[in-house]
Amino acid sequence: MTAQPTLLAIALTVLATVAIASTADIGDRQKLMKSNGAATKPVVAMLKGEAPFDLAVVQKSLANYQDNIGQFVTLFPDDSKTGEKTSASPKIWEDMAGFKAAADKFAADAKLASASITDEASFKANMPAVLKNCGSCHEAWRVKDAQ
Ligand code: HEC
Please write the tens of the pLDDT for every residue from 89-102: 999 999 999 999 99
Q: Is the CB of 61 under 6 A from ligand 1?
A: no
**HSE value, Cβ hemisphere, 13 Å, CA-based, for 76:** 22
Alpha-carbon span 131 to 123, nearest angstrom: 12
- Ligand 1 center to 16 CA (angstroms): 27
pLDDT at residue 147 greater than cutoff 50: no
Whether 68 shows a pLDDT value over 80: the answer reads yes
- Looking at residue 13, its amino acid is T
102 Cβ inside 6 Å of ligand 1 = yes
Contact 107, 70 (CB under 8 A): yes
What tens digit of pLDDT does each residue of 34-67 get? 999 999 999 999 999 999 999 999 999 999 999 9
CA of 4 to the centre of ligand 1 (A): 45
120-131 pLDDT, tens digit each:
999 999 999 999
- Contact predicate 86/146, CB 8 Å: yes
Share of the chain above pLDDT 90, in %: 79
36 lines ligand 1 (CB under 6 A): yes
Across 64-78, b (16+ Cβ under 10 Å) vs e yields bbbebbeebbebbee
Calpha distance 56→118 (Å, rounded):
10
Q: What is the pLDDT of residues 13-28, one digit of tens each?
A: 665 555 555 778 999 9
Q: How far apart are CA 126 and CA 111, in angstroms?
A: 11
